[in-house]
């Protein structure tokens, strides 16, 4: 029962849940691994993935951001065409469906009303649904055909942290399993790579003092903040901005690096913090020229890069992991920076104003 969960020595659930992420990775590996070190997955889920011609991911909030990464996994690893939709928009902007759609509902709580109303509709239409959730007995799990469990343990803080990284991990496993079932050859072992991710997370959890200083350097007096990135980093930037908004009330937005020049750069003033993720080799020079553009206009740029792409002057270095799995690692500094930004502003970290952990109204 959630009310029995204790913070222990932690001042806030959010910090505890951030720290739990390495253990959640290990737990997921354990739960999704068979005795021969192969992926263990419900045969029905495997079949549903093999049978569909397109995946429609439906989600809200942080889970939507995990869905954006999930699409990349499913398309790049498993070659399954995938769309990601904001649950509350789906009924108005319903896409033309393929012949054999599979609906994938991503929801920490499994109770979000916006998702449920889509599920009711797709059930009526007779389309198969898979729910990826932290709560197997939840409404979405019960009302869909298949469930994948996140195994993240109860998440109490309103701002989602460990559920987000767990969602991406399970989506990566699902993508790899689907690829294998299709006979595609892969050059990496996802469970081994996730173990490396877990270690990288642990390293980052041990660098809180350094990240608290980053929060002081960039966010202590600001009223706004931008996150930029390209490719996967763009999606992580969206999640970084959401975290910061949710708990520190700093107005924050995530942008694709290439879109800056089409409008947003007008907002850059002297001292505007711009947090840039530069974790992807193939877009590294482009994102760094975006940083130059904002710095020229006075921005206070904070570059986060992995060891192998580090350049002098970058504000924070993260361990290198498999490039596709970088989002699971690069989001940690963003979570921790947001936590300290909120703390320094005396915000109610675990229960931010106007927000609820699970929103059961549309
Ligand atoms: C609420 C929470 C968010 C969460 C969203 C989706 O708005 O405050 O943190 O991301 O719901 O929740 P779900 O349980 O469906 O993942």
- Gap between the Cα atoms of 333 and 304, Å rounded: 9
4 pLDDT higher than 80:
no
**Residue owning the nearest CA to atom 15 of ligand 1:** 107
Question: Ligand 1, from 13, 14, 59, 60: best to mutate by most atoms within 8 Å of Cβ?
Answer: 60
Stretch 342-361: mean pLDDT: 93
- Asked if residue 145 lies in contact with residue 130, where contact means CB atoms within 8 angstroms, the answer is yes
DSSP letter string, 195-206: HHHHHHHHHHHT
What residues contact 17, with CB distance under 8 A and at least 6 apart? 155, 156, 157, 161, 162
With pLDDT > 70 as the criterion, what percentage of the chain qualifies?
99
Residue 326: the pLDDT is 98
Over residues 211-229, the pLDDT tens digits come to: 999 999 999 999 999 999 9
Tokens of 113: 């009303």
Which residues are catalytic, by number? Answer: 357
| 132, 148 contact by CB (below 8 A) | yes
pLDDT at 288: 98
Dist. CA 331 → ligand 1 center (Å): 17
Residues 6+ apart with CB under 8 A from 150: 24, 28, 108, 132, 133, 134, 163, 166, 167, 170
Q: What confidence tens digit (pLDDT) does each residue in 159-209 have?
A: 999 999 999 999 999 999 999 999 999 988 889 999 999 999 999 999 999
Q: What ipTM, to 2 d.p.?
A: 0.98
The end-to-end CA distance of the chain, in Å, is: 26
Q: What is the pLDDT of residue 3?
A: 60
Separation of alpha carbons 128 and 112, rounded Å? 19
Encode burial over 252-276: b for 16+ CB neighbours within 10 A, e otherwise: bbbbbbeebeeebbebbeeebbbbb
Tens-digit pLDDT profile for residues 28-50: 999 999 998 899 999 999 999 99
Dig out the tokens for 267 from the structure. Answer: 């907002």
At residue 362, the pLDDT reads: 87
Q: Encode pLDDT of 56-86 as tens digits.
A: 999 999 999 999 999 999 999 999 999 999 9
Residues framing ligand 1 (Cβ under 6 A)? 60-63, 107-109, 112, 115, 158-160, 355, 357-359
Q: Give helix 190-205 / helix 162-181 axis angle, nearest 10°.
A: 160
Of 70, 109, 360, the one to substitute when testing ligand 1's pocket (max ligand atoms within 8 A of C-beta) is: 109
Per-residue pLDDT, 144: 98
Using the Cα atoms of residue 121, residue 124, residue 125 and residue 130 in order, give the sign of their dihedral: positive
Q: What is the 3-state secondary structure (H, E, C) of 298-326?
A: CCEEEEEEEHHHCCCCCCEEECCCCHHHH
């Amino acid at each position: 029962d959630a009310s029995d969960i204790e913070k222990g020595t932690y001042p806030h659930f959010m910090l505890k849940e951030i720290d739990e992420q390495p253990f959640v990775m290990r737990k997921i590996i354990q739960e999704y691994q068979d005795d021969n070190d192969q992926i263990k997955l419900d045969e029905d889920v495997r079949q549903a993935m093999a049978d569909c011609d397109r995946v429609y991911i439906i989600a809200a909030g942080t889970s939507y951001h995990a869905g954006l990464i999930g699409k990349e996994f499913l398309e790049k690893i498993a070659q399954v065409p995938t769309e990601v939709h904001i649950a509350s928009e789906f009924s108005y902007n319903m896409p033309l469906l393929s012949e054999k759609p599979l609906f994938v509902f991503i929801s920490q709580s499994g109770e979000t009303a916006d998702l449920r109303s889509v599920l009711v509709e797709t059930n009526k239409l007779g389309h198969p649904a898979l729910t990826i959730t932290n709560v197997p007995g939840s409404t979405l799990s019960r009302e869909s055909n298949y469930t994948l469990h996140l195994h993240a343990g109860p998440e109490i803080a309103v701002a989602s942290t460990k559920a987000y990284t767990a969602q991406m991990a399970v989506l990566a496993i699902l993508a790899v399993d689907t690829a294998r079932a299709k006979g595609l050859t892969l050059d990496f072992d996802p469970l081994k790579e996730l173990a490396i991710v877990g270690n990288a997370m642990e390293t980052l959890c041990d660098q809180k003092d350094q990240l608290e200083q980053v929060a002081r350097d960039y966010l202590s007096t600001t009223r706004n903040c931008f996150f930029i990135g390209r490719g996967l980093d763009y999606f992580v930037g969206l999640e970084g901005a959401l975290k910061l908004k949710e708990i520190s009330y700093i107005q924050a937005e995530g942008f694709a690096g290439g879109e800056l020049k089409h409008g947003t750069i007008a907002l850059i003033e002297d001292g505007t913090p711009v947090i840039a993720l530069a974790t992807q080799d193939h877009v590294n020079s482009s994102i760094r020229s975006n940083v130059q553009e904002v710095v020229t206009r006075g921005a206070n740029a904070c570059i986060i890069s992995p060891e192998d792409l580090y350049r002098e002057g970058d504000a924070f270095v993260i361990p290198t992991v498999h490039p596709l799995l970088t989002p699971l690692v690069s989001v940690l500094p963003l979570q921790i920076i947001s936590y300290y930004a909120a703390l320094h502003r005396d915000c109610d970290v675990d229960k931010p104003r106007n927000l609820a952990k699970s929103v059961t109204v549309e």
